[in-house]
A and B are shown apart, each in its own frame.
Chain A
């Protein structure tokens, strides 16, 4: 299930503006890889290139390779829709579909794609996904209620349940806890520990403690100045990054001496 992603010489553009330059990174399966860095350095942009969400934005394009399973995700014949079915994503702000119930939100990946599935199988899938997202006990009695009626933390776990319901190989999380209180954040972090048994997880976070708590490896992005492209400064095991980083800039950022 979980798969490795190899990124080589990846440059990311908005029209002609080079946003992120020359990223080389190897994302290990069954582990959590954290991406940290200051605002505007291209963390989220980089994350969105991993499942080809970047090109949804008009003018978004990339150069370089993102290889999963020996297949370049940006190869000519690759269908971005297919990539996204294998690499799921959770966004910064919880965004359950407002027209759908809790059940409908979890089943959305199946229903929106018109995949045929028996009702009982779908019920099982919804239950499994909600249990996987640690939300089942809180919502099992009101599955037909609107998803937007849940609390922020519950909505975010609902979005995680929705993402894992399509059984992706990789799960991308773009600051999944930044809009949540500490208790909900803890719930999400615990959940990530469980999910990494089954998925490759990449998480972008502003919270360095969070990166240190949850991840095995960490990548530090930085940029030299406004208008300059962001670059991957250092990619190492989390222990090394937060203990004894190879690059001075990383140490400055982590110890708060940055900027």
Chain B
């Protein structure tokens, strides 16, 4: 069966012409069409009583439609679909950005009023009207979050190590399942848990910084477990085997090879889990309460924290209402800055601790 089949295609299909050259639309034409759509949309909205929102909606729809139709007429259907989808995706991105930008803008606008030295150096002790600050709340948030981290990171990290390095079978599946469930626990439940736990021991009046730390730790642990687990899984098995082959016991392999290799990811995960809980309000509201003075001791009485501080400033303003609302906004601004700073720290950690290739 070695008949020559090479001749067959020549008769089957006619030879193709050169690659087609398509007509092209200059860029300014497309931009022009889109802008025309916007202007038309603005005019349309003016008919029904002008508003910026309506003008934008009409404009974007008309602009997209215009670009599609013009492209279709000049360049054909494939290019037109391409442009249509591009504009839809870009519009979706724009819509997604609106709340973010609006939020940051509002908080900056209203929070900067009291973003001054006093806010960072004064507490609310004996302040009933204007002035005062959130020094006590800033310190409280730092102390309680640090304490929560100290509780949550060892537990979470060791759980992750167990899941990746040692666990198998039912126990592993059960832990994974409950960690997943814990990830979805409403923060108020964590707060009630800590409240119930401590009131059992110290009576119904117990309000301690450490209670809040425990509540936050309950929220943090699943996040830490999850992120650390993913990072530890990424450590190639080759390094574990290389270590075993040198006669290194398993626990030393974990401590001296696996953990250092994963250090960047672990640091990032822990930092992001801190960012996750630093702004929690509900659990702190019921476990830590609020005071107007500075309390540095999480084992003795109520403490102030930024989220709860903001909450009370807003809901229980005194006589000088505006001063209280301003302080609430500034506390909110400070929380956003804290979370952003933690994210930056996470990025720095992953950059500086990443294994170096030396190339």
Within 8 Å CB of B252, what residues of A? 112-114
With A85-B247, A112-B256, A166-B247 as contacts: A98 and B242 at CB distance below 8 Å:
no
B246 touches A166 (CB 8 A): yes
B356 touches A148 (CB 8 A): yes
A88 touches B245 (CB 8 A): yes
B245 touches A97 (CB 8 A): no
A window 84-114: CB within 8 A of B: 84-86, 88-89, 91, 93, 95-99, 108-109, 111-114
Within 8 Å CB of A95, what residues of B? 236, 238-239, 241-242
Asked if B244 lies at the interface with its beta carbon under 8 angstroms from chain A, I say yes
A112 to B263 CA separation, bound complex (whole angstroms): 17
Asked if B203 lies at the interface with its beta carbon under 8 angstroms from chain A, I say no
A208 to B261 CA separation, bound complex (whole angstroms): 37
Q: Select from chain B the residue with minimum beta-carbon distance to A51.
A: B245
B window 213-266: CB within 8 A of A: 236, 238-249, 252-253, 256-257, 260-261, 263
With A85-B247, A146-B358, A148-B358 as contacts: A112 and B257 at CB distance below 8 Å:
yes
How many A-B pairs have beta carbons closer than 8 Å: the answer is 88
A58 touches B168 (CB 8 A): yes
A53 to B241 CA separation, bound complex (whole angstroms): 8
Partner of B246, one of A83, A84, A114: A84
Q: Select from chain A the residue with minimum beta-carbon distance to B247.
A: A85
> Which size bracket describes the interface of B in this complex?
20 to 34
A84 touches B244 (CB 8 A): yes
A149 touches B358 (CB 8 A): yes
Asked if A194 lies at the interface with its beta carbon under 8 angstroms from chain B, I say no
- Number of chain A residues close to chain B: CB under 8 A: 33
Nearest chain A CB to B235 CB, angstrom units: 9
With A91-B242, A112-B256, A112-B257 as contacts: A98 and B355 at CB distance below 8 Å:
yes
Q: Select from chain B the residue with minimum beta-carbon distance to A90.
A: B245
Partner of B248, one of A113, A146, A159: A113
B244 touches A97 (CB 8 A): no
Within 8 Å CB of A97, what residues of B? 239, 242-243, 257, 261
A163 touches B246 (CB 8 A): yes
Q: Select from chain A the residue with minimum beta-carbon distance to B257.
A: A97
B257 touches A145 (CB 8 A): no
Q: Select from chain B the residue with minimum beta-carbon distance to A159.
A: B242
Asked if A82 lies at the interface with its beta carbon under 8 angstroms from chain B, I say yes
Nearest chain A CB to B308 CB, angstrom units: 42
A112 touches B253 (CB 8 A): yes
Asked if B357 lies at the interface with its beta carbon under 8 angstroms from chain A, I say yes
Asked if B359 lies at the interface with its beta carbon under 8 angstroms from chain A, I say yes
B246 touches A149 (CB 8 A): no
Within 8 Å CB of B238, what residues of A? 91, 93, 95
A112 to B257 CA separation, bound complex (whole angstroms): 8
B window 327-359: CB within 8 A of A: 355-359
Q: Select from chain A the residue with minimum beta-carbon distance to B255.
A: A112
A83 to B257 CA separation, bound complex (whole angstroms): 20
B247 touches A81 (CB 8 A): yes
**6 A-B contact pairs sorted by A residue (CB < 8 Å):** A89-B245, A95-B236, A97-B239, A109-B248, A113-B247, A114-B252
Interface residues of A (CB under 8 A from B): 51, 53, 56, 58, 81-86, 88-89, 91, 93, 95-99, 108-109, 111-114, 145-146, 148-149, 159, 162-163, 166
The 7 closest A-B pairs by CB, nearest first: A149-B358, A85-B247, A98-B355, A146-B358, A89-B245, A95-B238, A109-B246
Given contacts A81-B248, A91-B241, 10 further A-B contacts (CB under 8 A): A93-B238, A96-B242, A97-B243, A99-B263, A112-B256, A113-B246, A113-B252, A146-B355, A149-B357, A149-B359
